[in-house]
Amino acid sequence: MSGLCSIQTAYDSSDTNSSDDENHQKKSGILPRPEPTTDLVVGKRGVDVFQCPTPHIETDAKRPRLTLTESNGSKSTSEFLPLPDEVMSMFSGDKASDASSSSHQGRVRSFAHEAGNWATYVYVPIEVTSGLEDIVSALHECIPTEYNIQPMDILHLSVSKTVTLKYHWIRPFTELLSQRLAELPQFICAFGKPRVYVNDEATRSFVSLTISQGVKELEDIVKEVDLALNEFNLPPFYKPASFHVSIGWCLGDITKDISTEVLSNLERCFLEHISSIKPSWSVTKLCSKIGNKYFAFPLS
């Protein structure tokens, strides 16, 4: 294996060293669950190992028919035999399976699915500790049930918008991003007070923890990520940036409806619990999720 790139599971054994934390997480149901995927660690010279995506296969209705010319000059069209179910099941996960929002708890795509486009974003991974889990659980309990706040599958800190990459852009994009991030130093981040955000389409709202330390370093990261995205004519991050880690979401825009009392309770709850844990953590790498692939970019 090349020294520039190594393959590791997305959630290695270091994430499950503590059986107490693991049992605690299973009870709450609010923390990220391991995904059966591969994390590609990208070295300074780019990606040495890359997994090909699941190919798209068209349905039998769209498959071409073979036109045959008989000896008497007449033409006939032959029908292909239907593909076996075992073959068709190899290529699940296309746009037909994503069309219904009911399978995504009512969530709606920010952009229409198109074959060959890979949803992509860059983020800081968040290590979930039992202390952080306690804070998240307490904040969820402070929010009235009428808002129907759902837990996040994975906690992360975004440093890019969600954009779409063409398949043939994935390797050059990850290589360029690796080069731009490789010289940036590791740093310390810390959580700040809770805040409610809404997405650009006003289809989902998010209860989040803001960032109180490491903002300057995050701005430097965004600058490099934006430059990489610009090479592919993709949009930059929000300006001004408001860095945060979302801990829950709900459908619709609640930013104008949520009461000041609820917001005050969230802040009070956060301040009561933050003193019992270490609110800061070390940022040692950036990650990017491209489709169902994960890439890691170590900082210097």
164-200 confidence digits (pLDDT tens): 999 999 999 999 999 999 999 999 999 999 999 999 9
**32: pLDDT strictly greater than 50:** no
Which stretch of 132-136, 218-222, 242-246 has the lowest confidence by average pLDDT? 132-136
The Cβ of residue 269 has, within 10 Å, a number of other Cβ atoms equal to: 18
DSSP string, the chain: --TT-EEEESS-GGGG--HHHHHHHHHH--S----S-EEEEPBTTB-S--PPPPPP---GGGS--EEEE-TTS-EEEEPPPPPPHHHHGGG--SHHHHS-GGGGTT---SS---TTEEEEEEEEE----HHHHHHHHHHHHHS-GGG-PEEPSS-EEESS--EEEEGGGHHHHHHHHHHHHTTSPPEEEEEEEEEEEE-TTSSEEEEEEEEEE-HHHHHHHHHHHHHHHHTTT-----SS---EEEEEEEES--TTTS-HHHHHHHHHHHHHHHTTS--EEEE-EEEEEETTEEEEEE--
Torsion of CA 168, 172, 174, 180, to 10 degrees: -160
This prediction has a pTM of 0.67
Contact 80, 60 (CB under 8 A): yes
Q: What is the pLDDT of residues 36-46, one digit of tens each?
A: 444 566 655 44
Higher pLDDT, 189 or 97: 189
Catalytic residue among 24, 140, 156, 168: 156
> Amino acid letter at 194?
P
Q: How confident is the model at residue 3 (pLDDT cuts 50, 70, 90)?
A: very low
| Mean pLDDT score of the chain | 76
Q: What is the pLDDT of residue 97?
A: 39
Q: How confident is the model at residue 276 (pLDDT cuts 50, 70, 90)?
A: confident
How far apart CA 224 and CA 214 sit, in angstroms, is: 16
Average pLDDT over residues 272-296: 92
Higher pLDDT, 144 or 81: 144
Catalytic residue among 24, 56, 140, 244: 244
**98: pLDDT strictly greater than 50:** no
Q: What is the pLDDT of residue 71?
A: 52
The Cβ of residue 196 has, within 10 Å, a number of other Cβ atoms equal to: 24
Q: How confident is the model at residue 278 (pLDDT cuts 50, 70, 90)?
A: confident
Q: Which two tokens stand for residue 143?
A: 């929010």
CA 256 to chain centre: 27
Q: Is 24 a catalytic residue?
A: no
Q: Is 244 a catalytic residue?
A: yes
Beta-bridge mates of residue 189: 281
Contact 288, 120 (CB under 8 A): yes
How far apart CA 222 and CA 181 sit, in angstroms, is: 10
Per cent of the chain over pLDDT 90 is 55
How far apart CA 24 and CA 228 sit, in angstroms, is: 39
User: Nearest 5 degrees, angle CA 203-CA 227-CA 37?
Assistant: 60
Which stretch of 30-34, 117-121, 234-238, 279-283 has the lowest confidence by average pLDDT? 30-34
Per cent of the chain over pLDDT 70 is 62
